[in-house]
């Protein structure tokens, strides 16, 4: 059986590595703000207001950094065969992180005779569907790249 034909290079234009790096860093910064900094700030303010949270604020920042790194790596590796595995790794980390948060997602408030505890971990369990779908997407992309290297480039980077 003959090897699959590579797509015509004239049908796609891959951004340069330098450009992908710059955009990747910008994406990482955005992700870090929304997934790391904002939740960290919310948790810090809740604690300052006397509301006890079981979720460590430092874990949120570290999780945000990891998400940012995976987002940047996905963008930079998109034209390569590493794109699928990076997507799978990022999705797997997301699943683990969401399950970690779901076990600690509580807010408690106490007065001298009353304690109120709100548990919202099920929200994060529900969100696990998102990285599961992403993981499937990464798996199919990995298989596609293994069977037909570069075949998706004209559709990911049309001229």
> Interface with other proteins by CB under 8 A: which residues?
8, 11-12, 113-120, 122-123, 126-127, 129-131, 133-134, 136-138, 140-141, 143-144, 147-148, 151-152, 154-155, 158-159
We find the least distance from the C-beta atom of residue 47 to other proteins, in angstroms, to be 20
**Closer to other proteins at the Cβ: 68 or 141?**
141
We find the least distance from the C-beta atom of residue 32 to other proteins, in angstroms, to be 18
We find the least distance from the C-beta atom of residue 113 to other proteins, in angstroms, to be 5
Dihedral angle, C-alpha 32, 33, 39, 42, nearest 10 °:
150
Q: How far apart are CA 135 and CA 149, in angstroms?
A: 20
5 secondary structure, DSSP code? P
**Closer to other proteins at the Cβ: 38 or 140?**
140
We find the least distance from the C-beta atom of residue 16 to other proteins, in angstroms, to be 20
By C-alpha distance, which of 87, 90, 79 is closest to 139? 87
**Closer to other proteins at the Cβ: 17 or 123?**
123
Specify the long-range contacts of residues 40-49, CB closer than 8 Å, at least 24 apart: 40/64, 46/107
Residue with tokens 């600690």: 104
**Closer to other proteins at the Cβ: 58 or 120?**
120
**Closer to other proteins at the Cβ: 34 or 58?**
34
Tokens read off for 153: 């480039």
We find the least distance from the C-beta atom of residue 49 to other proteins, in angstroms, to be 18
Q: How far apart are CA 126 and CA 109, in angstroms?
A: 25
Q: How far apart are CA 112 and CA 135, in angstroms?
A: 48
């Amino acid at each position: 059986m003959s090897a699959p034909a590579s797509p015509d290079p004239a049908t796609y234009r891959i951004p340069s590595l330098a450009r992908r790096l710059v955009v990747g860093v910008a994406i990482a910064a955005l992700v870090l703000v929304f997934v790391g900094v904002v939740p960290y700030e919310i948790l810090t303010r809740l604690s300052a207001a006397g509301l006890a949270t079981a979720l460590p604020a430092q874990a949120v920042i570290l999780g945000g950094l990891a998400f940012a790194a995976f987002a940047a790596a996905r963008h930079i590796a998109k034209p390569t065969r590493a794109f699928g595995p990076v997507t799978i790794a990022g999705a797997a980390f997301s699943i683990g992180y969401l399950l970690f948060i779901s076990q600690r997602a509580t807010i408690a408030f106490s007065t001298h005779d009353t304690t109120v505890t709100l548990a919202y971990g099920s929200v994060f369990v529900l969100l696990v569907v998102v990285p599961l779908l992403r993981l499937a997407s990464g798996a199919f992309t990995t298989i596609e790249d293994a069977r037909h290297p570069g075949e998706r480039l004209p559709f990911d980077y049309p001229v």
